[in-house]
Amino acid sequence: MHLDTFQLIDRIVDLNLDAKTITVEAQVPTTHTIFEGHFPGFPIMPGVLLTEAMAQSSGWLLLGLLKFERMPFLAIVKEAKMRGFVSPGQLLTIEAKLEHEGSGFAVTKAKGRVGKELKCSAEITFRLSPFPPDPAFRVYTDAMANKIGFPLQALPHG
């Protein structure tokens, strides 16, 4: 995870476009200034960042399913549940599945685990907009996809 740049996904473990699922890993940093205030002497990953990690995982799934032709933007977080603490140094595994796509929106369900222990879950709705036309944005997105192991070669443009 790179909290300063809000990159909360380290690598894609599995992207199954047929099953409409993704599994990612995110290594929570052992130290970071965010833990100085959340909470001194009892550092835990903020729930809002766990939710963002689930949203980013879902977003990469949607980018793959939409072949980078439309961009998912967070619209609604529903039924977000923090079920346990995620501590510095732990490996967070997030699974997301597409539940519905249509009328310019997509809905996913995501879960985060440390080992086999469920730590968080949410239903997340995204607004699907045309992919931003700026070539610099596409270069950046492709570089990020490459960094986390997104299989760009599976897409028509790659």
Active site residues: 38
Q: Does residue 89 come out as left (phi exceeding 0), alpha (psi in the -120 to 50 range) or beta?
A: left
Q: Return the axis-axis angle of helices 47-65 and 135-148, rounded to nearest 10°.
A: 110
- As given in the structure block, the two tokens for residue 148 are 């986390």
For residue 113, give every residue at least 6 positions away whose Cβ sits within 8 Å of its Cβ, in sequence order, or none: 92, 93, 94, 95, 119
Helix (H/G/I), strand (E/B), else coil: 96:
strand
